[in-house]
Structure 1
Amino acid sequence: MNVRRRGSAAVLAAAAVIGAAAAPAVAADPSPSASASRPAALFGTGDPQFDGVWRQSFALLAQDTVGVIPSPKAVEWLTGQQCANGSFAPFRADPAKACDAKTMVDTNQTAAAVQALWAVGGHGDVVEDALDWLKSVQNKDGGWGYSPGGPSDANSTSLVIGALTATDTDPTKVTKDGKSPYDALLTFALPCSKDDGAFAFQPDKDGKLLPNADATAAGVLGSLGKGLVTGPGKKAAAATCADEPDRAQAAANGAAYLAGAVAEDGHLKSALGGSPDQPDYGNTADAVVALAAQGGADQAAEPLAWLEKNAAKWAKESGPSAYAQLIFAAHATGTDPRDFGGTDLVEGLNATGPAPQGAKASDSATASDQAADENENDDSGFGVWWFVGVCLVFGIGIGFLLSGRNKKRQP
């Protein structure tokens, strides 16, 4: 695969872009006021130290998904964050300074940036270098951990699978010691038990696999070979109990587990240890994407309805990544993101960063039209599930920053 060029059909595997033609750019690109800790081209108002690349990647990918042409400055900022070896860290305050052993690069930031930059197009060299780096740090079991060389986990492995499939790279051909990413991912699927169908993030300190809704949403999408953005899937077969499920069984079982987890309240609950139970908006949005991708929009109807009713305030308070997650959930179910329970998610997202350049000519397509197109052409999809799990396991509050540059970047 030559990722230096985007497909002529202009249908991004990860972002399901509808149509290639673009409308003329709108006038100015006014950027919000910046500070030393937050560049003007960056989405969101918080300190980007831990989530710069991540939120930028999500914002750009979400804009592309709904037919918005992002600000060139926002894209350039993301590409400029890349290290010379192709990897991405959460945030580099001085991109001109070479990355070194102290630069906290990781697989999650890099995989998210790959999907966003492939979606917007025109940055094949950046994408290719990032993919080469991801392949270079693949573990012997075929998977990836959050940090290069760290033990594989379901979330990171699934996110990299999404980056591979988004760029038309076959994960079965990306192997280490004869093991593919799918081989690694299926080791986190729980055997038949009362929690049948769930995925674990990683084995615990005693080597046990414990069910984790975050990891399960990731595992479903990874098993399906989806990236961060996907449309509604076709109605799938029912879950079946198998001690060593194949990919299709693992996806069906994981979806069944998620459906059970949201059945009582319509949402997932916070997984933060020691805190009282509270709605987990982000993981619920990820569950919606996973459920819809595996079994169609109807399977995600209950948690989707809950998000439409309750998530607007959360998105406004949480910023670009939250708006993007809800846009991904809307896209996966064929729901209009500009009228999501009465909230215009696109307008909300655009307001958190530099003004977009314009809108694609196909932006007039309805959400249902986009969903119908994706049923024929979709080969992507994914969510944010892994973020909380990663931060808990590694004890770092790292988010994900996008990088940008058109030429071979500075190290």
Structure 2
Amino acid sequence: MLTAARLGAAALSAALLTGIAAGPALADVTPPAVPDGLYGKSDPTYDGVWRQSLALTALTTARITPADSAVGWLTGQQCEDGGWPSYRNAGTACDAKFEDSNATAIAVQALVALGGHQDAVDKGVAWLKANQNADGSWAYNPGNPGDADSTGLAVNALFAAKTDPAGVAKAGKSAFDGLALFQLGCAAPADQRGAFAYQPDPAGGALTPNALASAQAALAAAGGRLPVATSVRADAAPKALVCPSDAAAAPGPVAHADSGEAVGAYLTAQLAAGGDHLTLTTPGAAPTPDYTATAWATLALTQSGHPQQAAGAVDWLTKEGATWTKGGTDAGATATLLLVAQAAHRDTTALTGQLTALGPTPKAADATASATEAPKEKKDGGISQYWLIGVGLLVGIGGGLLLSLQRKRNPHL
């Protein structure tokens, strides 16, 4: 049975990932003081490792070397067995039942991006392997049924650590098999095919499309991780799932080779229907824009080679950014929006400055980095030229840090 604290952690984690605010899980618990080195000033109980990992990943991608205290805080949260909890007070012993796959997966990706932390990465991957379910999936907390979000994040971490998810298996079921459990295939209505459900319905096993599950699982289905770093581009829309005329004749799971394109086609249709954003639907509440799901959808589409299908959503997120990030004070949202802008090759100067101001003063900023440059794993033609026009760095007392970096760039794909 879940304790009240674990129920609170799971509930707030779900709220965090869907981009909505959640009330305190335990009204009689005093929130801990925000420790030195942590990005953001809000209660870190349920999202400390999550937002720190996103912030470190985004700033490292921006060629900024974070402070030792920021990196040390994240590595200090790791437990001896390799897993991470959402947050633990300094000096508090690890409790295995509070470790979770989401915090572990996102921390592994951050440490890979930072470099120089191979031992911690290896231990994190070992923890993920040890806590994989027998059906190939991952749960938020080990010992529970798997879900698409947690499985997708675990697959992202495996890709980041250069570990083939096809070879990570329990009882003969690989990570890709686990991910496929949640994807709607040919047996679903045509407009739902390719979507991911959060979990099967416990009563009958039916799958219901979920915006955040689809967006986060899509990055894993496309072979991606954070930060999104690809120069591959397809000049066509994602391919919808091809089904036989008798859909009932194809009730099986979506093949891994088709998974990324199928969910990309679903997300593209949902973004177009929703005015360039995905929507959060909660029972008893009016539908609201889902900022986080929209952000992950753009990352997944970019990763799969369809940045043109993501462009409208990137524009929408840019326009709505102040609302989502609470004026640049929400570290997790600001870092996610910065990762989106980097992947889309948009101007990142303001977001980089906002995020940097939410944590300890960084050690250095690379003057050769472009304000619109995303990391690249490979280039498939052409030569880029850059002209450095100016770099300014100002640290004001109580005012934070403003980074201004302007460059011209000849884009090529």
Tell me which residue corresponds to 2:200. 203
- Answer yes or no: is the 8 Å Cα contact 1:224–1:248 preserved in 2: no
- Answer yes or no: is the 8 Å Cα contact 1:37–1:93 preserved in 2: no
CA distance in 2, matches of 1:76, 1:105: 18
Moved more, 191-200 or 181-190: 191-200
**Secondary structure of the equivalent of 2:173?**
coil
Tell me which residue corresponds to 2:136. 142
Q: What value does the CA root-mean-square deviation take over the aligned residues?
A: 2.0
CA distance in 2, matches of 1:311, 1:248: 34
Q: Write out aligned runs for 1:51-66 (5 A).
A: 51-66=47-62
Which of 367, 370, 389 is the matching residue for 2:372? 367
**Secondary structure of the equivalent of 1:279?**
strand
Tell me which residue corresponds to 2:219. 221
Tell me which residue corresponds to 2:84. 88
Q: Write out aligned runs for 1:222-237 (5 A).
A: 222-232=220-230, 233-235=232-234
Normalising by the residue count of structure 1, what TM-score does the alignment of the two structures yield? 0.77
Moved more, 261-270 or 206-215: 261-270
Which of 70, 75, 79 is the matching residue for 1:74? 70
- Answer yes or no: is the 8 Å Cα contact 1:154–1:188 preserved in 2: yes
CA distance in 2, matches of 1:128, 1:273: 40
Normalising by the residue count of structure 2, what TM-score does the alignment of the two structures yield? 0.76
Q: Write out aligned runs for 1:35-184 (5 A).
A: 37-94=33-90, 96-100=91-95, 103-184=97-178
- Answer yes or no: is the 8 Å Cα contact 1:141–1:177 preserved in 2: yes
Which of 306, 312, 324 is the matching residue for 2:322? 312
CA distance in 2, matches of 1:170, 1:327: 28
Tell me which residue corresponds to 1:387. none
- Answer yes or no: is the 8 Å Cα contact 2:82–2:120 preserved in 1: yes
- Answer yes or no: is the 8 Å Cα contact 1:165–1:225 preserved in 2: yes
CA distance in 2, matches of 1:99, 1:54: 17
**Secondary structure of the equivalent of 1:86?**
coil
- Answer yes or no: is the 8 Å Cα contact 1:68–1:360 preserved in 2: yes
Which of 291, 309, 312 is the matching residue for 1:302? 312
TM-superposed CA distance for 1:83, in Å, is 1.1
CA distance in 2, matches of 1:100, 1:60: 25
User: What is the number of equivalent residue pairs in this alignment?
Assistant: 333
TM-superposed CA distance for 1:289, in Å, is 0.9
Give the letter for the 1:151 counterpart: P
**Secondary structure of the equivalent of 2:54?**
helix
TM-superposed CA distance for 1:134, in Å, is 1.0
CA distance in 1, matches of 2:216, 2:162: 19
- Answer yes or no: is the 8 Å Cα contact 2:277–2:291 preserved in 1: yes
- Answer yes or no: is the 8 Å Cα contact 1:145–1:153 preserved in 2: yes
- Answer yes or no: is the 8 Å Cα contact 2:222–2:261 preserved in 1: no
* Identical columns (%): 42
- Where relative contact order (Cα < 8 A, 6+ residues apart) is larger, the structure is 1
Deviations 1:346-393 (A, max 9, x none): 011111111111113542x3535x46x34549xxxxxxxxxxxxxxxx
CA distance in 1, matches of 2:131, 2:229: 30
**Secondary structure of the equivalent of 2:288?**
coil
Deviations 1:27-54 (A, max 9, x none): xxxxxxxx95210211111111111111
- Answer yes or no: is the 8 Å Cα contact 2:233–2:305 preserved in 1: yes
Question: Unaligned 5+ residue runs, structure 2?
Answer: 1-30, 244-249, 381-413
Q: Does 1:246 align with 2:255?
A: yes
TM-superposed CA distance for 1:322, in Å, is 0.6
TM-superposed CA distance for 1:330, in Å, is 1.4
**Secondary structure of the equivalent of 1:327?**
helix
Identify, as 1 or 2, the structure richer in strand: 2
TM-superposed CA distance for 1:146, in Å, is 0.8
- Answer yes or no: is the 8 Å Cα contact 2:196–2:213 preserved in 1: yes
TM-superposed CA distance for 1:112, in Å, is 0.7
Distance 1:99 1:333, change over 3 A: same
CA distance in 2, matches of 1:108, 1:337: 26
CA distance in 2, matches of 1:125, 1:221: 25
Distance 1:70 1:271, change over 3 A: farther
Question: Unaligned 5+ residue runs, structure 1?
Answer: 1-34, 339-343, 378-411
**Secondary structure of the equivalent of 2:325?**
helix
